Amino acid sequence: MPSLRQILAAHAPVLLIDAASTRVQAGWLANGELTTARWTTSDEDTGVGLFTSLAALGVEIDAVGAFVFCDGPGSVLGIRTCAMALRTWNVLKARPMFTYCSLAVVAQGLGRPDVGVVADARRELWHHFTFRGTLRRVPVGELSGELVMPENFRHWSQPPASVTSVPYSLAELLPRVIDADLFHPTDAPDAFLHEEPSYVTWTPKIHRAPSAT
């Protein structure tokens, strides 16, 4: 897995987009020095906020050398909207694409093995990631220790009482993790899934009136 520094060295300029939270974040990373990166955010729906962010950055898609985007956990609709845009742009002009895990970036930025970074996985399950750990789904009753959740992440069930909020600002986080191996190449960007969905087979039957007796 390459680091962000390696991606920038090989492919800059890089467009980074993240809609894991309720806030769209976009960054134009022109070279390996993140001090020169330009960032913008939008609180609009991703389908609008993504493109207003690109307009604010003044980015021409043809000039992008590679794309980096967050595949989750987070807002599945926002993430899939970004993935659809990436697929479309790459049909027009093929370029390398890389994904990263939102919770891994936060955990690496904190650098504390004793802290769990969590996000709602629905049905009383929570995504859980620790520094040097792996991404797991954990029942809410099994969460323990110090827990943090990135700000502006949606949740559908009541968070554990011990959870505190931490900033989810890529402009601040990425310089801390620029050399961490957190990025995965992909040719089919999509929202992260712990497992592929399974479906129950249903055999349709024609409804008939009850037989006369």
Q: In the numeric block, which tokens belong to residue 14? A: 């890089």
**Cα 142–Cα 168–Cα 30 angle in degrees, nearest 5:** 135
**What's the pTM value of the predicted model, to 2 decimals?**
0.89
Tell me the per-residue pLDDT of 190-212, one tens digit each, with 9 for 90 and over. 997 755 444 456 667 676 666 66
pLDDT attached to residue 181: 96
* Full 3-state SS string of 123-152: CCEEEEEECCCCCEEEEHHHCCCEEEEECC
DSSP line for 43-66: -S-HHHHHHHHHHHHT--GGG-SE
Mean pLDDT over 174-183 rounds to: 96
Classify burial at 200, counting beta carbons within 10 Å of its beta carbon; exposed 0-12, middle 13-18, buried 19 or more. Answer: exposed
Residues 6+ apart with CB under 8 A from 1: 181, 182, 183, 184
Q: In the numeric block, which tokens belong to residue 143? A: 């969460």
pLDDT attached to residue 125: 94
Indicate the domain borders of the chain: 4-101+169-186, 105-166
Classify burial at 5, counting beta carbons within 10 Å of its beta carbon; exposed 0-12, middle 13-18, buried 19 or more. Answer: middle
The answer to whether 23 touches 42, Cβ cutoff 8 Å, is yes
Q: pLDDT-derived band of residue 161, with 50, 70 and 90 as boundaries?
A: confident
Which residue is associated with the tokens 């961490």?
180
Instruction: Identify the CATH number of the domain defined by range 4-101+169-186.
Output: 3.30.420.40
Tell me the per-residue pLDDT of 59-82, one tens digit each, with 9 for 90 and over. 999 999 999 999 999 999 999 999
Q: pLDDT-derived band of residue 112, with 50, 70 and 90 as boundaries?
A: very high
* Residue 162: pLDDT over 90: no
Indicate the range of 42-56, 95-109, 116-130, 193-207 predicted with least confidence: 193-207
* Residue 166: pLDDT over 50: yes
* Residue 183: pLDDT over 60: yes
